Structure 1
């Protein structure tokens, strides 16, 4: 499908989104001419976008080619540690600073997302929106910028943990606990609930990866 976009920012966002939704997966080679044709842009903004993604370590060199980066076990663990700390801080600040309207949006998201259980792709999109809303509700632009970088790296994970049996229901229960704490303006509780949510997601990720390793043997 060709999407008529132009400019470096658009090319960057289009490639990043394609990685995020699994069009391009870890280990896939990205070819400048093919990307330009797919997205309907010239090769110059594609080239600049690829350079930007390589600088952010989302792409790596394989000879003269660029491929989508793969995270090893240590990188995965490091990513989740940083994510838990930053997201916990965002939840703490949201409990202090979120407007009533922002809290209402978070509550509505939890209720509406119950309809998505059983559709892990849709739940993954909804999950990203939920977390982004917490980031914004922190009212700290520097924290939001750092979390954007972390979540770009999350695009390198080939599967969503929400595809694991029972994880969708569990994640929504955890989201509910986070919102309850934010609604109560309980910063410590919100931080603890968010960090526990990330911990359970990491645990699920490790279990999924162990199954993949067993299948490969």
Structure 2
């Protein structure tokens, strides 16, 4: 019994270290290209090297870190990497829209509409709220599929998070109506239209990336 409790405590610690380290990477406490030294990081976080090593290995699998001879490198995403991310997003999130069209709950649809209405930016200082709404929008659609493989694939590849982490967004003025149109198609049960709209919505970012004509918003 004591052994079981100890195992649970260790699992909890491993998870806590993983979550903390991931948050620090996602909020840019560590810069892209920065080398993380395990001993130094262990002292900084006040944890032993074992849970830290497990967390770093997991984050390597997620594509956030890259193992180097002297430590772990915070992954720096190239334009080509980002294009691949958006291409995968377009395919998988388009599929998600087709699967949930006509099935997603009315309460969820109403929530999505209200969320964008409230977050629709009128001033620069509201941009952050809009982008938080954008992340929730995409995540809610994916989660609504209840397809464990699809959800796990998107989550493990960090597809949505990667694209948002890098600070590359289309301006809300260009995307607000697109979100509304996708919600309309989902409500009407038009899976093919919802899929097409979602693909086009995400592929706009690919066009901008390829042209080099994009802005980075924070």
Q: TM-score range by the shorter chain?
A: 0.7 to 0.9
Q: Which residue of 2 aligns with 1:84?
A: 90
**Root-mean-square deviation (CA), in Å?**
2.8
What is the SS of the residue equivalent to 2:73?
strand
Closer/same/farther in 2, CA of residues 84 and 156 from structure 1, 3 Å limit: closer
Task: Point out where structure 1 has 5 or more consecutive residues left out of the alignment.
Answer: 1-5, 213-217
Task: Point out where structure 2 has 5 or more consecutive residues left out of the alignment.
Answer: 1-11
- How far apart are residue 154 of structure 1 and its match? 4.4
Q: Which residue of 2 aligns with 1:185?
A: 189
Closer/same/farther in 2, CA of residues 33 and 125 from structure 1, 3 Å limit: farther
What is the SS of the residue equivalent to 1:155?
helix
Contact 2:116–2:130 under 8 Å retained in 1: no
What is the SS of the residue equivalent to 2:29?
coil
**Does residue 129 in structure 1 map to residue 133 in structure 2?**
no
Task: Summarize deviations over 1:4-52 as a string: whole Å, max 9, x none.
Answer: xx62222222222222222223211223345445555443322210011
Q: Distance in 1 between matches of 2:121 and 2:128?
A: 13
What is the SS of the residue equivalent to 2:120?
helix
Larger radius of gyration: 2
Task: Summarize deviations over 1:70-116 as a string: whole Å, max 9, x none.
Answer: 23343332222111100101111121321222222222222122147
What is the SS of the residue equivalent to 2:101?
helix
Contact 1:69–1:156 under 8 Å retained in 2: no
Q: TM-score under structure 1 normalisation?
A: 0.79
Q: Which residue of 1 aligns with 2:7?
A: none
- How far apart are residue 151 of structure 1 and its match? 2.7
Q: Which residue of 1 aligns with 2:4?
A: none
